[in-house]
Amino acid sequence: MDNLIKIFGERNTNTNYLSKLIQLNLNVREIPGIVPHVIMWMQKKLPGKELVRDIYFYLTQKKNLGWKHTKVQSANRLRSYPLVKNNNVVFVTITKNPYSWLLSLYRSPYHQHYTTKPDFETFLKTPWKTVHRDNVGGALKNPVELWNVKNSSYLKLAELDVLNITSESTFADPSAVIDEIHKRFSVSKVSKEFINYERSTKDSSKDFKYYRDYYLSEKWRDELSDNAILIINETVDMELMDRFGYDVLTTRSSQFA
């Protein structure tokens, strides 16, 4: 049987970086989670960019288990696919602090199209349009709910061979994450020496050190207003926050009350 790994994680959670780490350090084949280049080429020639991608994942989900950014299907549904039945498939999910993740999503809102882009606080209260491959079933009341829905689905994979990690733990000690995958799933290493991926997978002006400092020092907090924190706290799932080890932020006024 093949040794296969499937990564699930929302956009802006460093799934590309995790993929690079796995490619460089472990003897395991990743199940694709994005459309191939030929589909990207097709979508440029055809109307409805999101429709082309949605159709691709609808037709191929049994072969790739869905978009890597999707709300994950149930463990029972995944087990019913021949790919999982006939191979040694393991799963890794990656979650990012909702406060910093929402700032990232605001900077790159993907298929949300605005005549005039709203300010961050308005963005947090605006309904989020999903696409079919999100596996959510329609628009959500706001992007905070998107974080709740996607990350809640990762925990429901507990019946399978799954490791739930966070973006922050990956930046704190990437070699430990590789060691955990190696030990948890008995996946052999490429070599004894850990190899990091130092470059950004998206922005050539930034690197691993930049992102590590930005997220572990929580520099993103400077971008959050008191009102934005209150809006996020109204919707974010507190049980999920606790499960993934994230602190619920308080406003500056409450800190000095």
Please give the Cα distance from 199 to 126 (Å, whole number).
34
Please give the Cα distance from 144 to 214 (Å, whole number).
21
Domain range annotation of the chain: 3-255
Q: Is the dihedral of CA 201, 207, 208, 213 positive or negative?
A: negative
Instruction: Order the strands of the 3-9 sheet from edge to edge.
Output: 29-30, 3-9, 88-95, 162-166
| Strand stretches in 118-226, DSSP E | 162-166
Instruction: Give pLDDT tens digits along the chain (257 positions).
Output: 468 999 999 999 999 999 999 999 999 999 999 999 888 887 777 767 788 899 999 999 999 999 999 999 999 999 999 999 999 999 999 999 999 999 999 999 998 988 899 999 999 999 999 999 999 999 999 999 999 999 999 999 999 999 999 999 999 999 999 999 999 999 999 999 999 999 888 888 889 999 999 999 999 999 999 999 999 999 999 999 999 999 999 986 665 44
Q: Which CATH architecture describes the domain 3-255?
A: 3-Layer(aba) Sandwich (3.40)
pTM above 0.75, yes or no: yes
Q: Which amino acid is at 156?
A: K
pLDDT score of 2: 66
pLDDT score of 257: 45
pLDDT score of 256: 45
Q: Which amino acid is at 6?
A: K
Cα distances from 1 to residues 4, 48, 85, 178, 190, in angstroms, run: 9, 38, 10, 22, 19
